[in-house]
Amino acid sequence: MQLQTANVSDRGGRSRNEDAYGQWRHAALFASVVADGAGGHGGGDVASRIAVDAVLEELTRVATAGVALTGPALLRVLLRANDAIVDAQEHDRDLAQMRSTAAVLGIDEAAGLAAWAHCGDTRLYCFRRGATVVQTQDHSLVQSMIDANLLDTRDARSHPRRNVLFSALGTADDLSIAASEEPFPIADGDAFLLCTDGFWEYLDESVMIDAIGRAETPVAWLDLMVAHLREAARPNHDNFTASAVWVGDASQTTVLRMPAP
pLDDT in tens, 183-232: 999 999 999 999 999 999 999 999 999 999 999 999 999 999 999 999 99
The CATH number of the domain holding residue 157 is: 3.60.40.10
Which residues is 115 bridged to in the sheet? 106
SS3 185: strand
SS3 68: coil
CB 7 within 8 Å of CB 242: yes
Quote the CA–CA distance of 47 and 164 in Å, as a whole number: 18
Q: Is pLDDT above 90 for 151?
A: no
Provide the residue range defining the domain that includes 249: 2-257
Which residues is 184 bridged to in the sheet? 114
Q: With a threshold of 0.85, does the pTM exceed it?
A: yes
- Give the other-Cβ count within 10 Å of 158's Cβ: 9
Q: State how many domains the chain has.
A: 1
Average pLDDT over residues 21-34: 97
Quote the CA–CA distance of 211 and 223 in Å, as a whole number: 9
Q: Above pLDDT 70, what percent of the chain?
A: 91
